[in-house]
Amino acid sequence: MSILEVRGVTRNFGSLVAVRDVSMTVEPGELRAVIGPNGAGKTTFFNLISGFFPPSSGTIVFDGQDVTRWSAERRVVHGMARTFQITEIFPELTVRENLRVPVEVAAGLRLRPWLGRAADVRLGERVDQLLKMGGLDQKADRLVGELSHGDQRATEIMMSIALRPRLLLLDEPTAGMGDQETYDICRLIRRLHRNEKLSIVLIEHDMRVIFNLADRIMVLAEGAVLAEGTPDEIARDERVQAAYLGSAA
């Protein structure tokens, strides 16, 4: 059974059609990329998948259930997590404290005024595990607002992982990064994909990232699917070269 099936979704904003009859299937354990020029509808498409607004038409099925009208919060509980173009963190808290928040949410303890010692220890162990997994253990007690952009992004990704998702949506995870930070985030994504058996869908403009990470690529242009295939197939597609890759070179 596919982890995600998007069936003919369209999203209108008045007379503007931001996404037009887009379908996509993601298999368990797949790492799928969505690319396209600015204004192609990529972020709108992510907003439809993650529940920030409903499609005007079409259906979204996640893990065998029709989630088309589910809220974003309900999708998170069911196993879908997402990061954003602009990093969403608590800059005034430490890395450890940032991770503790979603760990408590995942454990169903966010409304508890106090925790017993056994629960506190268990949650602390989970935070330590996430810190190590994200390569953040040496920076655990630093304020996130003081860290590099790459480390802030890694913190945000690990906050999503703390929710124990089966599907992770990454919206431009390397945006604004230099070569070393991009390399580090790519290593983190690949490690999470392999070790956590995650299904991942990512939007990304850096073609080096896309062609090094993705199993399959879907190309959007003007809100519709232009092409879909393996990295080699997309690289050879003349329509993609004309619409996106060629103009970016």
Residue ranges in the chain whose pLDDT is less than 70: 86, 110-115, 244-249
Q: Which residue segment(s) compose the domain that 147 sits in?
A: 93-164
pTM for this one?
0.90
**Residue 203 within any structural domain of the chain:** yes
Same domain, 149 and 203: no
Q: How many domains does the chain have?
A: 2
Same domain, 185 and 231: yes
Same domain, 24 and 6: yes
Domain stops at, among 164, 195, 221 = 164
**Residue 44 within any structural domain of the chain:** yes
Domain stops at, among 164, 195, 220 = 164
Same domain, 178 and 191: yes
Q: Is the torsion defined by CA of 130, 132, 135, 140 positive or negative?
A: positive
Contact 100, 127 (CB under 8 A): yes
Same domain, 22 and 58: yes
- pLDDT, position 111: 52
- pLDDT, position 114: 63
**Residue 215 within any structural domain of the chain:** yes
Give 142-168 pLDDT, tens digit per residue.
999 999 999 999 999 999 999 999 999
Residue 46: CATH number of its domain: 3.40.50.300
Q: What percent of the chain has pLDDT over 90?
A: 81
Same domain, 16 and 114: no
